[in-house]
Amino acid sequence: MINLFRILFIVFSGGISALYYSSVSVVAMIIAGVAAAVVSFLLVILIEYMSHTFSPRIFLAAVTGLVVGLVLGQLLGLAYEAVARAAGAGDGGVVRLVLSHITGFAVMMFFVINHEDIALLDKIIQSKESQEMEAIPYKILDTSVIIDGRIADICDTGFLEGILVIPNFVLNELQMIADSADSIKRNRGRRGLDILNKMQKDQSIMVKISDMDFPDINEVDAKLVKLAKVMNAKVITNDFNLNKVAEFHGVKVLNINQLSNSLKPVVLPGEEMSVLLLKEGKDLNQAIGYLDDGTMVVVENGRRRLNEEVDVIVTSVLQTTAGRMIFTRLKEE
């Protein structure tokens, strides 16, 4: 589609120029048409090059600095004019004009050079983006939750609303993992890329790739928190450390592990269940089994019944950040 617009623009420019000179001669019409087409082609290249290499933030800094500089220059010019008249040196019109232009250029360059440190630009950008994003709930995915894969199944259920945002720096990290020399990391990275491809092809899931980056920040987690602040978005993760850091900065977090734990059935002391004992526990005579949802079940005095399915009675339940642990004893005791 973009290539079609390029061709139409070049053809239209050449055709208009050719028609304009058609009354002169055929040669002039051909030359004018070809010249206009060539100029249009070069203009398209120049515009596309500038749009890919010129940061919108720098452009905003240049415009803001120019406006501030011209206003400041006019004020300085008026002050100089008043002083010049008081000293009987004329109105100082030329000096006032030069002073205005130099001040405008100097302030503009100051804004461009220090665009990352000027808080005024952050306020302008955030106010504009916040107005656009207030009505759209954005949720940013981190690398761990993409590799985990459960996010795709959650999206299929329809419980998540809004647009899922995948930053480019997360994609870059995922690509590095997929290209790792370690086979385990490589498989995890490729699994994450497969999950993303699956989600993009699903018409019911809205996925957006964000080009926003923060070159002054090195860590991906810190970039995620910064991006969430700028977009007024929530972060979806299963990384415990990122969860705590984001909450410290006032960013809302949706933790997949917490969601998974909250959906596990409630077990109360005194209830009975059956569990297959798979391995020995840490303490003496303990054995370990697992429920269908992955919950660990610790059975006291169950070591002698390894590889057997036994009936147990729940004695206590321990909820940790890593998950839920159920402590039990053999029913026969």
pLDDT in tens, 153-205: 888 887 887 888 988 888 888 888 988 888 888 888 898 888 888 888 887 78
Name the strands in the sheet holding 138-141, side by side, starting at the edge strand that comes first in the sequence: 207-210, 163-167, 138-141, 234-237, 253-255
- Specify which of 34-38, 109-113, 135-139, 277-281 reaches the highest per-range mean pLDDT: 277-281
Mean per-residue pLDDT for 287-292? 88
How is residue 86 written in tokens?
A: 């008081």
CATH topology of domain 136-261: Rossmann fold (3.40.50)
**How far are the Cα atoms of 28, 53, 155, 171, 218 from residue 213, in angstroms, in the given order?**
50, 14, 26, 12, 10
Helix or strand run (H / E) with residue 290: strand 287-290
CATH fold for domain 272-330: OB fold (Dihydrolipoamide Acetyltransferase, E2P) (2.40.50)
Percent of the chain with pLDDT over 90: 4
